[in-house]
Amino acid sequence: MLGIFMGLLSKFALGRWLLLKFPSFFSFRLFRKKGPSKDEVASASFKMCFIGQGFSDSSLASKGNKKPDTEIVTRVMGLEVGYVITPIILLQCALFLLADRHNLPKGGVFTPGIVFCPTNLQQRLHENGISFDFISRKALSA
């Protein structure tokens, strides 16, 4: 209901002005102009679970098997994600790039997975309050 109401208001210049001027009122106090308080940031945390399917052995994938035979579940947890963890992640990535520039792949533009995979970035993040946990592994039926 709130989404429909806000969607209707946002279609008109006056409605957009009202939403931007009085976000707390029109969102029933879900949104506000100022950010979270220090107490809200200190008490916040995040937990994300990932379910991945793949092959237990790389030779299975190279043989052309179409169906994955393994499923894993992992979890990443940490402090407040917007104001605390994001700067930590960016800083640790930058520190790695500065310290280990000689270990970077040669060439043009690379995705983060290619650049950071063979590094100790996960350990650095763990030391700074982000936990990476392996939860389970199970075989998938054929």
Mean pLDDT lowest among 47-51, 68-72, 97-101, 124-128:
97-101
Is it the case that residue 1 has pLDDT exceeding 80?
no
Residue environment code for 71-89, b if the CB has 16+ CB neighbours within 10 A, otherwise e: eeeeebebbbeeebbeebb
pLDDT range class, residue 141, cuts 50, 70, 90 = confident
pTM attached to this predicted model: 0.69
Task: Classify 61 as helix, strand or coil.
Answer: helix
- The Cα–Cα gap between 57 and 72 comes to 14
Kindly indicate the confidence band of residue 3, based on its pLDDT and cuts at 50, 70 and 90. confident
Q: What is the mean pLDDT of the chain?
A: 89
